[in-house]
Amino acid sequence: MPLKRALCSFLILTSVSIQASVSAFAAGRQSNAQAPAQANSAAEPKGGEQDRDEGERVFQQHCSRCHTAPDGFSPRISGTILRHMRVRASLSQREEKELLRFFNP
Amino acid sequence: MLRLNLDRERLKSTRSMRFLLYAVAALAAATPGRAQDTPAISGGAGFFTSTQGGKTTYLPIAEPLIAAPLGQHVLIESRAALLEFVSPSGGNQAGYNHSHFIGLTYLQGDYIASRHMTVAGGDYLIPFNTYNDRLSPIWIGNLQDGPLIASLGTFSSGSGLGGMVRGNAIERDKISIDYTWFYSAPSKNTQFAAQRATGGRASAYWIDKRLEAGFSYDRRLQGAHENFFGAHVWWEPRDTAFRLRSEFGRGQHAQGYWVEADYRTQRFGGLDSAVGRIEPVFRMQQTFRIDTAASDGLPGANTQRADFGLDYNLPHNTRILASYSRQFSSGGDHNIWETGIVYRFLFPAWKGR
């Protein structure tokens, strides 16, 4: 019984939250899609090079799930950060390269 | 304070410096292969307060992290915690007691064997559910306290000593599947305390939907052998700064879950506007005891807790955290008020051209 109760509560709360959020964000999606591109945001970039877009996509999918981007850092440690993220976020080699181009355009 | 308790249990001050020196030695031995591969020093420094029952505790803390690449395939990384815990003197005595701790949170070497596999060895964070190895750094967590079930499946110390494999098993346009598996040997060393255990985690990420769901399992292989099961669901809708995170965990003696949501609006000038920097957070959590053999760090009685947080993301990697929590249990209901400020730093280990 305790397992059922806990599982039910967890699933109900999670699904209700997802459903409520879907409804709330569906309406605002159009306006949000026009928001300016920001490296440390979840917003889509406007234009720019394809590599950068792809790198930003990788960042949003893998890195920003846990944390926001730091305000800035030296290009000298971008490779180190990438390797750290490759281990932590299980990035593929292709994603690592795209992210490197995003950090060092 | 639960999140920090994981560290505190492992922290003893005197011998700690020796292990920190090992980490620094690894850093010094690093030979950059490319211009971007200079070893990095990162981490967070913060100051937290927590008021409960009219008593306020203070916690200045620093969590430095070093990452040093060796060649093209190896990375040495480590995180430590240095803190001073200041609490009111007990009884009718005036003044405060304080204690300090220094210790390693983890120290591991990673070998990137292929695009699908990384082998890690050393003292690593146990990959059970998501909180322990993904959200526990002070510069990442939205709330000062970790979830009530954070200790479930992480064997008191939160870390294992041995080997771990992890990586991206499948990557398609619509879905990505990750895996992690570890084996830990027992150790009573102050810095590398661990239990014999094995387990792992598998998670799927639906790229278009930005939805992640995963399952964790681990088993203690010493003393009373126990199984732990976990599941997590994370969701971050596209084009928004909304995040939903949730976990369920079940051990031999207790179980529980938490669901956390946070949001930053982009409608008033983007995320870097004064309004966009505001981040409301809500977390709901419950724990249930299966029996009274409380070996897992969860509350001794069934507990419900709601956390209402309001964070402010200042420029230059600084974050203000404030929260009010109400906890209900048969042992007594109480309020918890918490505040904190965290600065995240990230710079090369040495000056370069």
Residue of B40, B135, B236 with shortest CB distance to A77: B40
Give burial (CB, 10 Å; 0-12/13-18/19+) of B301: middle
pTM, whole model, 2 decimals?
0.83
* Interval B126-172: pLDDT, tens: 999 999 999 999 999 999 999 999 999 998 889 999 999 999 899 88
A19 at B interface, C-beta within 8 A: no
CA distance B199 to A44: 37
Answer yes or no: do B259 and A5 touch at CB < 8 A.
no
Answer yes or no: do B313 and A75 touch at CB < 8 A.
no
CA distance A61 to A59: 6
* Interval B239-279: pLDDT, tens: 888 999 999 999 999 999 999 999 999 889 888 899 999 99
Residues 59 through 88 of chain A touching chain B, CB cutoff 8 Å: 61, 64-68, 70-71, 73-84, 86-88
Closest-CA residue of B relative to A74 is B347
Domain extent, residue B283, equals 2-348
The predicted structure's pLDDT at residue B8: 43
Answer yes or no: do B352 and A31 touch at CB < 8 A.
no
pLDDT, average across residues B31-56: 86
- Most confident segment among A24-28, A64-68, B276-280: B276-280
Tokens of B3: 């999140």
Task: With beta carbons less than 8 A apart as the criterion, state whether B49 and B340 touch.
Answer: yes
Task: With beta carbons less than 8 A apart as the criterion, state whether B317 and B346 touch.
Answer: yes
Buried b (16+ CB within 10 A) or exposed e, B114-152: ebbebbbebbbbbbbbbbbbbbbbbbebbbbbbbbbbbb
Tokens of B164: 């771990």
C-alpha distance from A14 to closest chain B C-alpha (Å): 7
Give the Cα-Cα-Cα angle B330, B331, B337 (nearest 5 degrees): 110
The predicted structure's pLDDT at residue B12: 46
CA distance B107 to B125: 9
Q: Is residue B26 part of a domain?
A: yes
The predicted structure's pLDDT at residue B16: 53
Closest-CA residue of A relative to B35 is A76
Residue A60 above 90 pLDDT?
Answer: no
Residue B39 above 90 pLDDT?
Answer: yes
Residues on chain A touching B257 (C-beta within 8 angstroms) = 6, 9-10, 13
**Whole-number Cα distances in Å, A11 to B227, B259, B260:** 21, 10, 13
Which has more confidence, B119 or A6? Answer: B119
Residue of B112, B242, B316 with shortest CB distance to A71: B316
CA distance B278 to B267: 12
* Interval B281-298: pLDDT, tens: 999 999 999 988 777 889
A1 at B interface, C-beta within 8 A: no
Q: Which of B34, B70, B239, B243 to probe the A interface (max A CBs under 10 A)?
A: B239
Query: Confidence class of residue A45 from pLDDT cuts 50, 70 and 90?
Result: very low
Tokens of B115: 């695009």
Domain coordinates of chain A in residue numbers?
47-105
Tokens of B5: 């308790």
CA distance A74 to B337: 37
Residue A34 above 70 pLDDT?
Answer: no
Answer yes or no: do A70 and B317 touch at CB < 8 A.
yes
Closest-CA residue of A relative to B349 is A77
CA distance A98 to A56: 8
Residues on chain B touching A58 (C-beta within 8 angstroms) = none
User: Rounded mean pLDDT of chain A?
Assistant: 68
pLDDT, average across residues A51-64: 80
The predicted structure's pLDDT at residue B260: 97
Residues on chain A touching B248 (C-beta within 8 angstroms) = 6-7, 10
Give the number of residues written for chain A: 105
Give burial (CB, 10 Å; 0-12/13-18/19+) of B335: exposed
Using alpha carbons, select from B144, B139, B130 the residue that is nearest to residue B308: B144
- CATH number of the domain residue B63 falls in: 2.40.160.10
The predicted structure's pLDDT at residue B22: 60
A5 at B interface, C-beta within 8 A: yes
Task: With beta carbons less than 8 A apart as the criterion, state whether B85 and B72 touch.
Answer: no
* Interval B1-28: pLDDT, tens: 434 444 444 444 445 555 555 655 655 5
Which has more confidence, A66 or A47? Answer: A66
Using alpha carbons, select from A55, A63, A96 the residue that is nearest to residue B72: A96
CA distance B87 to B79: 25
Amino acid (1-letter code) at residue B342: V
The predicted structure's pLDDT at residue A40: 40
Q: Which 3 state secondary structure label does DSSP give B313?
A: strand
Contacts of B341 (CB under 8 A, 6+ apart): B46, B47, B318, B319, B320, B321
Q: Is residue B353 part of a domain?
A: no
Residue A42 above 70 pLDDT?
Answer: no
Query: Confidence class of residue A89 from pLDDT cuts 50, 70 and 90?
Result: confident
Residues on chain B touching A7 (C-beta within 8 angstroms) = 248
* C-beta atoms surrounding A25 within 10 Å: 16
Report CA torsion sign: B286, B290, B294, B300.
Answer: positive
CA distance B286 to B329: 10
CA distance B161 to B16: 17
Task: With beta carbons less than 8 A apart as the criterion, state whether A18 and B206 touch.
Answer: no
Answer yes or no: do B115 and A92 touch at CB < 8 A.
yes
Q: How many domains does the structure of chain B reveal?
A: 1
Contacts of B140 (CB under 8 A, 6+ apart): A66, A67, B134
B84 at A interface, C-beta within 8 A: no
